[in-house]
């Protein structure tokens, strides 16, 4: 038996939810649930948790491309069966974690992982650059301004030593979103890579009437740049469409999300912006948004050298200058953003000055500033 | 489907980080349509543009979401990705898996789809990446009957909830995040599978203020664990940090300075300055502590959360579209999170919020934008929550204050003639 298309509601099971988490635990997790006392990072990528019962759980964290095949998952399962009694987990940053219940089982696991080429790099703990939270890009999405998987691979190749070591002042979370819908964590990461457009949408007057609910496209614009209009299509027939006021458009692409007849992607116009200084944790300074410091870098597949260089330069400037425990945003706030731009040698442009709604709150309303090379 | 010439994609097989291109090619040996994934990606790399058509509406009977439809705009060149729909599976809380279940899933997905996945989507779902419309119902049938596994959410509904690792393997979890995540997922299956909201709505559950699932930034309702009594101090372990026997930050920040300096690394970094040393004894004025987690993070062996535990609820986080990005706003400073009463206090907050937002939220307006539009005072009133100083970072500075008529003596109905008797024009 199986699905019967003649009788689609027959035997249909719905609303059963996910598999229950308790059935997924390794024994040491099941036995010590809620009893953990403390943890240590034994070395990069290896965690040790100690329970009130005296039990120990060793976790080996490995990098993962997120976009993975079932062949890869089967290989993960082989490793978990051989070393971890058939359990494995993924983290909130899409790394894989293998857990064992004794110190003696750690080295054989590490040796096995190392024997499999570059598929399972161990790291991502402590003051490091862990995995890059990222989106679909050109592998699956219709609104991206850049790719996700390729840019992330290029960046992680360059920052690889910071994944496998803990040599930074604090953790540095890097995220990527391929458009400003920001699926994921771009608005709250230490260093964020964001796909942006720089050309207003084209309007396909021949298609718009049949494809779009025009009031939705109008309401989708944060700046009121989309207006209803009566125009002639290519056959000379009058139709209801929209007009885009190009001076008011800042290329967010939200009208295209709503209306397939308003595409805006462009090989030269679209590219990448870099934002820095966001964080989610409430430690010390509390959560903050990341701020735009580089308004545009070109899309240069397959390895995006300009983007990779910019991320590396920001990371290294922070690593050399920040105090222990200081996240990128905490460092930039302490030294002042004028110093951030000077130290990172990023040219400051008007694109970094906010001009949207509550912009005034971000301007400088004090005489407190530092003299930097920017003041001529 | 044949192999394509892919010089640009081949470049991404170099370097130390795991290559998605190598992995795609390995899968293509078993699932030849993967050659077309690589082929279409190569074309996108050449054209510097996506080659997916706009949108796509597909699904399974009974549900209004869970599957994201997608079609290639070059199906003649790459017939293997002419249809390339993704299927969202609701992941188990905190993403632990048994390998027998994963292997069954791999077999099913190899039979019914491309063999490619995302582990995991940003919201938490296990994503099956790429299949045809005619495979969706058989896939769903086998998924529910053979694997006892359901779809996640998409569209204007409750999306798949997610949580941190919680009590499973963390000493700081102040409530059972997995249990809360699972209980809310099961309680609101209808709201996940059948869109009934003005727009999407997300839940995330973090066990402490470190917020490992980024609830405060990435969910309309975030429950973040905390405590309201005193931090538990083990003074003997404090001395072990002072002597260097214990490594600061669990050994996670070894590069900057070898010798632990409690004054510099803990006391001076405390945001409220509520810690001090008396000899080699650490003191904390807990009434002044805002539970930021810094001292616990640095000295995990010596400091533990208090015992009177629960969660803070923050609401309204969202990405920029439409009116700008928002972080969660503190709405409920502390509630108990009790699996025994099925998280009754949390459920009460959720349902009050939904009752109001489902009625008053505009089309495609996230909760955070509704709160901005109607104002936090109005939202607190409909939530039947008394305003307290904790609801603001600072009081307003403009004097544009609304008063309701019933708050003002004599009301608003006045007679200008009465006024003129005392005050001539």
B52 in A contact zone (CB under 8 Å): yes
CB-nearest to B171 from A20, A36, A72 is: A36
B269 in the same domain as B323: no
Residue B414 domain flag: no
Residue B410 domain flag: no
Residue B385 domain flag: yes
pLDDT digits (tens, 9 = 90+) for A27-77: 999 999 999 999 999 999 999 999 999 999 999 999 999 999 999 999 999
Check CB contact under 8 Å for A169 and B256.
yes
Asked if A195 and A144 count as a contact pair (C-beta separation under 8 A), the reply is: yes
Check CB contact under 8 Å for A182 and B325.
yes
Structural domain ending residue among the three candidates A87, A115, A143: A115
CATH value at residue B273:
3.30.70.20
B124 in the same domain as B95: yes
B120 in A contact zone (CB under 8 Å): yes
CATH value at residue A41:
3.30.70.3340
The pLDDT value recorded for residue B255 is: 77
Fill in the DSSP letter of residue B161.
P
Question: How far apart are the C-alpha atoms of A128 and A167, rounded to whole Å?
Answer: 7
Residue B153 domain flag: no
The pLDDT value recorded for residue A330 is: 98
Asked if A190 and A327 count as a contact pair (C-beta separation under 8 A), the reply is: yes
A272 in the same domain as A179: yes
Check CB contact under 8 Å for B321 and A34.
no
A299 in the same domain as A180: yes
* CA end-to-end span of chain B: 90
What string of DSSP letters covers B58-116? Answer: ---TT-S-SEE--BBS-TTT-GGGSB-EEEEE-PPGGGEEEHHHHHHHHHHHHHHS-SE
Structural domains of chain A, count: 3
A235 in the same domain as A138: no
Question: How far apart are the C-alpha atoms of A237 and A210, rounded to whole Å?
Answer: 14
A342 in the same domain as A271: yes
The pLDDT value recorded for residue B398 is: 96
User: Which residues are bridge partners to B278 per DSSP?
Assistant: B281
Residue A10 domain flag: no
pTM of the model: 0.97
Q: In terms of residue numbers, what domain contains B25? A: 7-145
Choose the mutation target among A67, A194, A296 for the interface with B, i.e. most B CBs under 10 Å: A67
The pLDDT value recorded for residue A74 is: 98
Residue B13 domain flag: yes
A135 in B contact zone (CB under 8 Å): yes
A110 in the same domain as A133: no
Nearest-Cα distance to chain A for B310, in Å, is 14
A147 in the same domain as A69: no
Residues of B in contact with A187 (CB under 8 A): 217, 319-320, 325
B365 in the same domain as B262: no
Residues of B in contact with A26 (CB under 8 A): 96
Nearest CA in chain A to B100: A86
pLDDT digits (tens, 9 = 90+) for A76-113: 999 999 999 999 999 999 999 999 999 999 999 999 99
A142 in the same domain as A105: no
Each of the 376 residues of chain A gets a pLDDT tens digit; together they read 799 999 999 999 999 999 999 999 999 999 999 999 999 999 999 999 999 999 999 999 999 999 999 999 999 999 999 999 999 999 999 999 999 999 999 999 999 999 999 999 999 999 999 999 999 999 999 999 999 999 999 999 999 999 999 999 999 999 999 999 999 999 999 999 999 999 999 999 999 999 999 999 999 999 999 999 999 999 999 999 999 999 999 999 999 999 999 999 999 999 999 999 999 999 999 999 999 999 999 999 999 999 999 999 999 999 999 999 999 999 999 999 999 999 999 999 999 999 999 899 999 999 999 999 999 9
Residue B420 domain flag: no
Please report which helix (H) or strand (E) contains residue A214, including its range: helix A214-219
Provide CB contacts within 8 A for A303, sequence distance 6+: A150, A154, B11, B12
Residue A107 domain flag: yes
Each of the 425 residues of chain B gets a pLDDT tens digit; together they read 889 999 999 999 999 999 999 999 999 999 999 999 999 999 999 999 999 999 899 999 999 999 999 999 999 999 999 999 999 999 999 999 999 999 999 999 999 999 999 999 999 999 999 999 999 999 999 999 999 999 999 999 999 999 999 999 999 999 999 999 999 999 999 999 999 999 999 999 999 999 999 999 999 999 999 999 999 999 999 999 999 999 999 999 987 766 899 999 999 999 999 999 999 999 999 999 999 999 999 999 999 999 999 999 999 999 999 999 999 999 999 999 999 999 999 999 999 999 999 999 999 999 999 999 999 999 999 999 999 999 999 999 999 999 999 999 999 999 999 999 999 99
Cα separations (Å) of B322 from B137, B269, B364?
35, 36, 9
For residue A249 the two structure tokens come to 């458009």
B74 in the same domain as B209: no
The pLDDT value recorded for residue B256 is: 72
Q: In terms of residue numbers, what domain contains A239? A: 207-258
Check CB contact under 8 Å for A92 and B18.
no
CB-nearest to B209 from A39, A282, A324 is: A282
Check CB contact under 8 Å for A222 and B217.
no
B347 in the same domain as B222: yes
Check CB contact under 8 Å for A153 and B293.
no
Structural domains of chain B, count: 3
The pLDDT value recorded for residue A1 is: 73
Residue B125 domain flag: yes
A276 in the same domain as A251: no
Residue A275 domain flag: yes
A332 in the same domain as A277: yes
B188 in A contact zone (CB under 8 Å): no
């Amino acid at each position: 038996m199986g699905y019967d298309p003649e009788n689609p509601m027959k035997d249909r099971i719905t609303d059963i939810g996910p598999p229950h988490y308790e059935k997924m635990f390794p024994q040491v997790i099941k036995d010590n649930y809620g009893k953990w006392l403390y943890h240590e990072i034994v070395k990069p990528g290896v965690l040790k948790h100690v329970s009130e019962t005296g039990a120990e759980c060793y976790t080996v964290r490995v990098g993962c491309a997120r976009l993975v095949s079932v062949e890869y998952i089967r290989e993960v399962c082989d490793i978990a069966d051989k070393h971890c009694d058939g359990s494995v987990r993924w983290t909130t940053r899409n790394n894989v974690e293998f857990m064992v219940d004794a110190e003696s089982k750690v080295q054989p696991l590490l040796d096995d992982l190392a024997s499999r080429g570059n598929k399972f790099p161990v790291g991502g703990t402590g003051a490091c650059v862990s995995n890059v939270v990222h989106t679909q890009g050109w592998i699956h999405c219709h609104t991206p301004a850049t790719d996700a998987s390729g840019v992330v691979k290029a960046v992680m190749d360059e920052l690889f030593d910071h994944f496998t070591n803990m040599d930074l002042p604090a953790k540095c979370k890097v995220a990527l979103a391929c458009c400003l819908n920001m699926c994921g964590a771009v608005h709250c990461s230490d260093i964020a890579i964001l796909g942006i457009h720089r050309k207003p949408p084209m309007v396909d007057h021949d298609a718009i009437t049949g494809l779009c609910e025009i009031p939705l496209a109008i309401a989708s614009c944060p700046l009121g740049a989309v207006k209803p209009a009566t125009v002639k299509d290519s056959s000379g027939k009058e139709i209801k469409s929209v007009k885009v006021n190009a001076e008011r458009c800042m290329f967010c692409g939200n009208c295209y999300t709503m209306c397939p007849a308003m595409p805006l992607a462009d090989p030269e116009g679209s590219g990448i912006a870099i934002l820095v200084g966001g964080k989610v944790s409430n430690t010390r300074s509390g959560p903050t948004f990341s701020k735009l410091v580089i308004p545009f870098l070109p899309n240069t597949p397959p390895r995006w050298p300009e983007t990779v260089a910019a991320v590396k330069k920001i990371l290294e400037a922070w690593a050399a200058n920040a105090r222990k425990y200081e996240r990128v945003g905490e460092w930039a706030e302490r030294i002042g953003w004028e110093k951030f731009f000077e130290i990172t040698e990023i040219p400051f442009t008007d694109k970094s000055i906010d001009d949207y709604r509550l912009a005034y709150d971000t301007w400088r309303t004090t005489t407190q500033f530092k003299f930097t090379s920017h003041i001529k | 489907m044949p192999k394509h010439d892919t010089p640009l994609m081949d470049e991404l097989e170099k370097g130390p980080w795991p290559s998605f291109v190598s992995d795609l090619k390995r899968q293509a040996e078993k699932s030849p349509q993967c050659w077309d994934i690589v082929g279409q990606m190569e074309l996108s790399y050449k054209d510097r543009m996506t080659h997916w058509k706009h949108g796509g509406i597909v699904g399974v009977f009974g549900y209004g979401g869970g599957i994201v439809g997608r079609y290639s705009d070059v199906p003649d060149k790459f017939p293997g990705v002419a249809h390339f729909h993704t299927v969202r599976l609701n992941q188990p809380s905190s993403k632990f898996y048994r390998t027998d279940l994963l292997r069954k899933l791999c077999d099913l997905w190899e039979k019914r789809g491309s063999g490619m996945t995302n582990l995991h989507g940003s919201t938490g779902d296990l994503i099956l990446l790429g299949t045809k419309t005619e495979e969706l119902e058989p896939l769903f049938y086998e998924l529910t009957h053979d694997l006892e596994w359901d779809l996640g959410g998409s569209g204007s509904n409750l999306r798949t909830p997610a949580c941190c690792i919680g009590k499973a393997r963390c000493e700081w979890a102040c409530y059972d995040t997995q249990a809360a995540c699972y209980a809310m997922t099961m309680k609101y299956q209808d709201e996940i599978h059948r869109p009934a909201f003005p727009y999407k709505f997300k839940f995330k559950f973090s066990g402490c203020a470190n917020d490992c699932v980024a609830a405060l930034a990435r969910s309309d309702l975030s429950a973040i664990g905390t405590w309201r009594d005193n931090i538990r101090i083990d003074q003997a372990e404090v001395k072990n940090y002072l002597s260097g026997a214990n490594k600061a930050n669990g050994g996670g920040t070894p590069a900057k300075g070898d010798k632990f300096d409690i004054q510099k690394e803990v006391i001076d970094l405390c945001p409220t300055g509520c810690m001090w040393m008396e000899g080699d004894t650490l003191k904390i004025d807990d009434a002044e502590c805002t539970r930021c987690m810094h001292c616990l993070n640095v000295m995990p062996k010596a400091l533990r959360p208090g015992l009177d535990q629960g969660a803070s609820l923050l609401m309204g986080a969202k990405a920029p579209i439409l009116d700008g990005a928002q972080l969660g706003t503190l709405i409920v400073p502390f509630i108990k999170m009790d699996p025994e009463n099925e998280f009754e206090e949390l459920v009460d907050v959720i349902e009050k919020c939904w009752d109001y937002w489902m009625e008053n939220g505009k089309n495609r307006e996230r909760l955070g934008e509704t709160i901005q539009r109607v104002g936090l005072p109005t939202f607190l009133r409909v939530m039947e929550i008394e305003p307290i100083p904790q609801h603001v970072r600072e009081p307003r500075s403009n004097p544009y204050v609304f008063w309701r008529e019933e708050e003002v003596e004599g009301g608003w109905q006045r007679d200008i003639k009465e006024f003129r008797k005392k005050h001539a024009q």
